[in-house]
Each structure stands twice: as C-alpha cells, then as structure tokens.
Chain A
Amino acid sequence: MTNDNLNKLLVFCVLFCAQKTSIVHGAQALETKVALLLHAEPENPKCFAEGMSDLTCFWEEDEERTGSADQYSFIYTYQNENSSECSITALPAAGGKRLYFCRLSQTQLFVPLDIRVFRDDLLIHNRSLFIELVFLLDPPANLTLTSTGTQGQLKASWLPPSLKYMGDSMMYEVSYAMAGSHIGKVEEVQASSELILRGLQSGTKYKVRIRVKLDGISYSGYWSAWTDPVLMETMPGDLDPLIVSLSLIISLVLTLLSLLVLMSHRRFLLKKIWPIIPTPESKFQVFIYIFCEWLGHSTGGLWLRPAYFYSEEFPAPLEVLSEVSLGPALPSSALPPKASEALGEEDEDEKLKRVDSALEGWRETPQEHWPMDQLRAIHQHPAPWTQSSLLESHDAYVTLNAQNHSGEELLDDILEETLPLQVLFASGRTSSESRSDLGSFQQSSGLGRLSSQSSFEYPNHTWPPKGPGYTYMAVADSGVSMDYSPMSSSKIDDIGKGVIYTNEYKNEIPAHRRPIGTPIPFAF
C-alpha cells in the first residue's frame, strides 16, 4: 500500500472516529433532550428548536400501538403557505415503547406553524406553535470557577450557546452549593457570560453548575440540561468580626450565669469551705440563766435578770478564769458555778465539763441559802483550800478590788491588764500586790482601785484563808460579754446591814431592784 493510500486511510479513520464521537455525543444529547421534553411538555407532538433553522418533533407510542414509521405522516403548514410533509424516523425507547421523530432543517420563525400527525389516515395529534418559542439549547460550555481575590467569593464564567441574534436574549441559572450538601442556592443572570458568587463560606469547597434558557421576549423555550458540576474551594478567611463578637458575648453571658449560681449558693459553699467553729456559748447561756434563777430565789433584792449580766461597758484587763465546781466537803451547798473563761490556759472542753459537773452538784442542794452557807462554812472553817474544797486549785477565781484612788487614776490604772490579784478573803486590807490568791473585792467607802487575783499561783491547792469582811462578786464571761453580779459581803451576818457597793450597769435595771448604795464604777 502506498503512502498516499495510507494517508487517505488515516484521514478517513480520523473523520470516521470524530464523526462517530460526534454522533455518539449527539445521540446522548438528543436522548437527554427527549427525556426533558417528555417531562416538561404536555402537548403532542413535542417539538424543539436547537438552532436558528431547525425543528425536531417527536411523539411516543405504547408497545401495543407501535407500528412501522410508514404508518405515520407528519403534515406541517406555515401561515399563508401551503402544507408540507416531514419524513418520520422510529427509535426504540424504554419499556418497549417507541419514539417517532420528524426533523425540519429549514424553518420560519415569528409565524404560526400548524402540525398534524396521522396514523393510517387517522389524525392522532394536532398542534399550532411558533418555532421561536420552543427553543431547547445545549448547556453552556467551558464552565470555569476562579477566585476573585476576595474572601467568600467565586467567579463563574462560561461560553454562551453560539446562536446568532440570540445572545442578548439568553438567561442563565447558576446553581451552587457546598460540596457534599444537597441544599444550595440559585441565581439568575441575563445576557452575560459570567457571575460572581458572593456570601460564600471561607475555606469551603463549592460545586457549581449552570443551565440556559431564552428570556421569553422575542425568543422562548425550555431550560437546558445542567452542565456537569465544577468544584472549587474558596479562600481561607480571617476571623469573622461577627463571630468574634458573638463569642465574646456568649462568654460574658456564661460568666454572669456562673456568678449568679455561685452567689445564690454562697452560704452552702462557705459552710463547706470555712466551717463554723462551734463555741460553748449556748451552754454558758444556760448556765448563766440557771444562776440567775438561783440568785433570784436566794437574794431577792438583787438583780437577777439574765440581761443584767450582759455588760459591754468596760474592757477587762483580767478575765475570769473558772467556774466553781462543787466539792463534796461542803454538803450544804457550794458556791454557784460561775461561767468563766480561763486565761487562755484551760481547755474549753474541760471547763465545760466542770461547769456541767458543778451544775449537777448544785442542783442537788437547796438553792436558796447555799451561797451563804458556803460562806459561813468558809468563815467557820478557814481551812486551806484543798482539792476537795469549795474551789479547785486549778480554777481561777477573779475578784475585783476597790482601792482608794481617784476616779480618773482609777480608770487609767485599772485598764492595764497586769493588775495583780488579791487574796479573796482578806478583809480590811488594802489591795496587795500578790497575785497568788483568789481575787478579792474590798469594801470601800468610795471609789477604789480594782484588782484581781488568780488561783493559778497556788499549785498546792492551798489558799490562805481570808478574814471576814470581803465582798465578792460573780463574774461570768461567755466569751462574748462579761456578766457581773455583786454578791453579798463576806460578813454574812451583816448582810442587809452593811453597805454593798455595786457597779453601774448600762443595762436597764428595774428601779425596784436597784441595790442600796452608791454605785462604784468598775474598771479594769
């Protein structure tokens, strides 16, 4: 075979292949359009124009009615012209049906066209149409997505169908959605070959497709098939100011809510974090109340109101140390237990226990006369203090000594915390500097220096006996306030005869209970 023959054969093959490809492509396009019109056009025959000078009409017949193409005739007539006939072609369709086609290669637009279809001389279809109103174009070609340089935007561009006179009559529908999502948006554009898609998410891949249709003013028709989707990712974006501001607002709201919850439950949280340290105040209050009741029964003229014990006047340089614990040596009675607070050296629990025990012992004795009996016993039996005596040696019993000083000096001196304690039962003596005896309170005709003594300095549990003539006072310190109660003089027999000096209290005291004598300002 010569070179020329080979060349001819090669060209023939190329053309054949190209034509075959074109034929295959054309067949696929026709199949797509037929499917579109079967869905979109209710009338028969269904006709569409692809270009400026063509018209394709077809109809579908069921399997039982199908026959050869020769059985059908297609007659078309333009207005004011004679009728013409179109040759018919039959093609198989799905489901055993058949499609019959008629294609015109030369047409007239803007004039009515009458179409009649006959099967064996029987009119089966009749339709009048304008060819310029039934265009079904091919989808736009070369759909391309590019970045505009702006966040959230993509530019779509395409080639419009190459139809003369109709470029400005075409409108396009652009469909775009995030890749993988079935929910998208559609935008229309007229007489243009590009569109900027806005409002897209940054850094997201989008798929875009497009279809075309004539605008309906001069030319009209059906929507073309969608192009194959094109994918492209948008530019990555910076932090959206709206998102940042919303995040800040949400954080603020959550913080406020947390604070509200904490504030509403603060008591519970405080209890858990800083538990309240229990204090024996309640027990002391009971003790004091009982003591007041006892005073009320025994003395009668003294102030026996619990409120009487609460004085907030003078700060005490010396604290009452102990309570009285009733011992078995004095069967008649014992001094009433006194609520006291040790000078920081006793355990509070032990003190409470002694209070309780003293209270129990006291309850067993007659309440009315036992303090006097106790004093009588002391006078009659000034034995050294022992452990079993009235007061335990490790208890501190503080008394107040009135001394002959001027009032002003008295206050200055007494406010010092290092006032010595004096012997309790020393009578007629001036205040001593000893700190080793029970505090005592001396009768004085006027203002006197107050001092106190402690029993801590007598480890041998011995108390030097004191002579008669003392006046004692019960002091109760609950840790919150100091409660004072003037007691009768050591000269028991002189009760009611001597002058009993009492302190001045700020609490309201009933007039009928006000004691006899001038008040002595107490100061520590």
Chain B
Amino acid sequence: LFSGTGPVVVLLTVLQWAGRGLPSPVRPICDPRVLDRFIMEARDTETALRGCKAGCGVTGTFVVPLTNVDFVVWETKDTEEQALEVQSGMSLFGQALGAVRESVSRVAVQILIDNNKSNIHSLGQVLRSLHIQHKEVKQSRVSSLSELLHVHTNFLRGKVRLLLTNAPACQQNST
C-alpha cells in the first residue's frame, strides 16, 4: 500500500509545476492520506454548493467519466486499463471545472472551484508519479454544477482510490 514522503512532497511538486511547468516527480507518491484529503475537500465543495440557487449561475452540459465500480469486473481489468480510466476521468473533470470557473461570479464559489482544480492537478502528478498513462474512456454528461461535483467526488472515491491503492509502483515500495 501507500508509503513515502506524504503531502509535503505533493505540495512542493505542484508549486514547482505551477511556477516552472510540469516536472516529473522523483519518487512515487503512495500515501493514502493524500487522496483522502482530496476526497474530503471534493465532498465539502459538493455539500457547500448543493443548495446553490439557480445552479450558482452555471449553465450548460459537462462531460464526465462514469464512476460505477463492479469489483468482479474491476479485478478482471489489468492495472493499465484501470489507470487509463482514472487518468482520463480526471482530465474530463479538469476541463469541466475550468468551464465552470469562467461562468461563476460569486467569490466564495470561485474559491471552492479553484481548490478542486488544484487538487485535480495534484492528483495528476500523483498518477504521473505512478507511471499511469492517459487514454480515451467511456464518458457521460451532466448538466449542472452540483451533478458535476457529485460525479467528481464519486470518481475520486471509487476508481481513483482503487487504482492508487493497488498501484504496482506502490506495491514495489512496500515490499
């Protein structure tokens, strides 16, 4: 399972990327507490914006990945296929949150959206540290911000976590 430096390394990596680009992380980031923090912040954002009037002023549809996990089916997939699902899903969420950020006017909503976008970028770094590649996968569409955030949370809790928990790079570090 996860072991390693922790959120500090992730944060430093993100800051370095924000300033200079997207350098490759040195070591695999396998600490489960990293993803747990992302999941909790996504859930908090979903809860905070659930009662937003008129959808917080967000209109249109957004493409999102599917979140359902059948363990029996999931275990039949190899790690690469699993990683592709996760990586592409995170990419879709990044695009959708970017479009949402441009259409909201309330500062409080903007802060929450920015935080989730930052977490998605950080998670991308974690996936890259585990040598997970990007590929097109099955998609879905949502038509509201709350739906988008809800799917986002479910995706993190499910496929992303499963992938990181059983990432080969993290399994090699623990043995």
What is A's interface to B at a CB cutoff of 8 Å? 52-53, 78-80, 106-111, 130, 132, 164-165, 167-168, 217-218
Contacts and interface: CB of A to CB of B under 8 A. Distances in A.
Contacts of B44: none
A165 B165 contact: yes
B71 A111 contact: no
Nearest to B70: A108
A4 B155 CA distance: 56
Contacts of B158: 109-111, 132, 218
Main secondary structure of the interface of A (DSSP, over half): loop
6 contacts: A106-B72, A132-B158, A165-B165, A165-B166, A168-B165, A217-B39
Given A109-B71, A168-B32, A217-B39, 8 more contacts: A53-B70, A107-B70, A110-B67, A110-B68, A168-B1, A168-B165, A218-B158, A218-B161
Contacts of A111: 66-69, 154, 158
The secondary structure that dominates the B interface is helix
A132 B157 contact: yes
B68 A109 contact: yes
Given A80-B140, A168-B165, A218 B157 contact: yes
The 10 closest A-B pairs by CB, nearest first: A110-B158, A111-B68, A108-B68, A52-B71, A218-B157, A110-B154, A109-B69, A110-B67, A217-B36, A108-B70
Most chain B beta carbons < 10 A, residue from A130, A167, A168, A217: A217
B159 interface: yes
A244 B32 CA distance: 49
A53 B72 contact: yes
Interface string B135-168: 0000010000000000000110111011001100
A103 B27 CA distance: 44
A168 B154 CA distance: 19
B72 A218 contact: no
Contacts of B32: 168
Contact of A218 (B1, B39, B66, B140): B39
Given A80-B140, A165-B165, A106 B36 contact: no
A109 B166 CA distance: 17
A80 B40 CA distance: 25
Contacts of A217: 36, 39-40, 157
Nearest to A111: B68
A167 B161 CA distance: 13
A473 B112 CA distance: 124
A318 to B, nearest CB: 111
A168 B155 CA distance: 19
A52, A130, A165: which has the most chain B beta carbons within 10 Å? A165
